[in-house]
Every structure is written in structure tokens, then in C-alpha cells.
Amino acid sequence: MSIRAKICGLSTPEAVSAAVEGGAAYLGFVFFAKSPRNLTPEAAGRLVEPIRGQGVRTVAVTVDPDDVLIDRLMATMKPDLIQVHGKETPARVRQIAERSGAGVIKAFSVSSASDVDQARAFEPVTEQFLFDARPVEGSALPGGTGARFDWTLLDGRRFSRPHFLAGGLDPWNVADAIRVSGAPLVDVSSGVERGPGLKDPALITAFLDAVKRL
Ligand SMILES: O=C(O)c1ccccc1NCC(=O)[C@H](O)[C@H](O)COP(=O)(O)O
């Protein structure tokens, strides 16, 4: 089984190196002021510059991004993909894809099968999907919370776009999560941290090793 992984919320050169050396296929950088992982596009640009051309895809993680942010990202970090983690409509996702020239990953907050069904409407405008746990009511963050959803909600589902399983994954549960959900892509953030926003290179390596063993 060839499962590919995204390490999300990177903010230091050490964590970026651990992810690249461990074989991550995607590196995620967060642009959301309330997040402990928040970066400026310029800072993310400096982090990704040394690893350009190494075959790892860079992802700018955003929440209802405006055009100013999209333009600034494309002028500085130049991500391969833009993840949208808010209430974006299919029309807005199309605009973001056309304006940026980057592929879009649309994230969905999942707590029931109908949340997974929302993805269909985005198939024409999205490169990939990311299914994440719905945060608890009142949470300041739409992602990166460590919350999980029922992985069986993805079991047997077929999409015309590759999809990530996200939400509460860690080095110890990722193998089970893949087995139960059948997802081809996995995403982790807080499960490879030693504190809010503090990525632990050893946990990143352990997560990627667990994925490689499958
Ligand atoms: O990680 C954040 O701080 C964040 C903030 C705002 C929007 C999205 C965010 N993260 C998106 C991700 O793709 C996370 O990796 C995903 O939610 C899984 O996080 P975790 O449950 O901590 O592994």
C-alpha cells in the first residue's frame, strides 16, 4: 500500500527537515492569526526555499482567504497547493484556483455522512479533498485541534479526487486509521507536537515511519 502523508503546521527548519527526510509527500504551512502555527507568507517562503525541487508539495493552509492573501502567498511562498479550511463555496474555490494557478485542497469538517457528501459539489473545482474532524462548538480553530471523527464514515467512499484523512492522527493510531477509513492520504499536525505549535522532529519521523510500514 502506498500511502502519502502531509505534515501540517510546520514553522521551523528542523521540523521541515524531519518531514522531508522522513519522506513526507506534502508540507503544510498555516496562515490563520488565531493558530499557534500561524506564519507570514514571507516566513513560509524562507522555510520552503531550501527544499524546492525535491519533489515535496508545499501547501498553504488558509481559512476563507481573501484575494490579498492569495496574491501575497503566490508572490512569496509560491505554494503548489492552497488548502481552504473555511466556508468557501465551489464558486469561491474556482476563483482561488484561477487567480492563484495553484491546485486547491478543500477541507470538510466531518461529524456525519452528510458532511462527507458535501465533497461532490467541489469535484469540478478542487484538486484534492481533506476530511477533518468537526471542531467542538466555540473552538477558535477550525483545524489542528487533535479532534477525531468516526473513520468508518470514509470507508468504501469513492471520489474523483484523492482525499486526505485528518483529525487526531498520531504515530500510534495512523495505521489503524488508514485500515478503517481506506484513505490514500493522511494528514497530521498536533499529533506530532510536544506542545501547541511546537513540532517534535522525532514524532514526525515516527509518524512517517508508521506510514511507510504499511
Ligand atoms: O493547524 C492549524 O492550526 C489550523 C488552523 C486553521 C485552519 C486549519 C488548520 N490546520 C489544518 C490541518 O490540515 C491540520 O493538519 C488538520 O486539521 C489536522 O490537525 P490535527 O488534528 O491536529 O492533527
Q: How far, in Å, from the CA of 8 to the mean position of ligand 1?
A: 7
What's the gap in Å between 91 CA and the centre of ligand 1? Answer: 23
Give residue 77's pLDDT.
Answer: 98
Q: Which atom of ligand 1 is nearest to the CA of 83?
A: 13
Distance 95 CA to ligand 1 centre (A): 23
Q: What is the pLDDT of residue 1?
A: 59
Q: d(Cα 174, Cα 165) in Å, to the nearest integer?
A: 10
Q: Tell me the whole-structure pTM to 2 decimals.
A: 0.97
Length of the chain: 214
What is the torsional sign of CA 199, 201, 203, 206? positive
Locate the ligand 1 atom nearest the alpha carbon of residue 188 and give its number: 23
Query: Among the atoms of ligand 1, which is closest to the Cα of residue 143?
Result: 17
CA 152 from chain centre, in angstroms, equals 20
Domains of the chain, CATH where assigned: 4-212 (3.20.20.70)
Name residues of the chain where pLDDT drops below 70: 1
Check residue 161 and give its pLDDT. 96
User: Which of the listed residues 35, 61, 139 should we mutate to test ligand 1's pocket, taking the one with most ligand atoms within 8 A of CB?
Assistant: 61
- 106 strand-pairing partners: 84, 129
What is the residue with the minimal CA distance to atom 19 of ligand 1? 144
Predicted ipTM of the assembly: 0.99
pLDDT computed for residue 17 by the predictor = 98
Q: Is the dihedral angle over the CA atoms 151, 79, 37, 8 positive or is it negative?
A: positive
Q: Measured between alpha carbons, how far is 161 from 128 in angstroms, rounded to an integer?
A: 5
Around ligand 1, the residues with Cβ closer than 6 Å are: 8-9, 28, 30, 32, 35, 37, 61, 63, 85, 132, 141-146, 166-169, 187-191
Q: Which atom of ligand 1 lies at the shortest distance from residue 189's CA?
A: 23
Per-residue model confidence as pLDDT tens digits over 153-199: 999 999 999 999 999 999 999 999 999 999 999 999 999 999 999 99
144 Cα–ligand 1 center, Å: 3
pLDDT score of 194: 97
Dump pLDDT digits (tens) for 34-50.
999 999 999 999 999 99
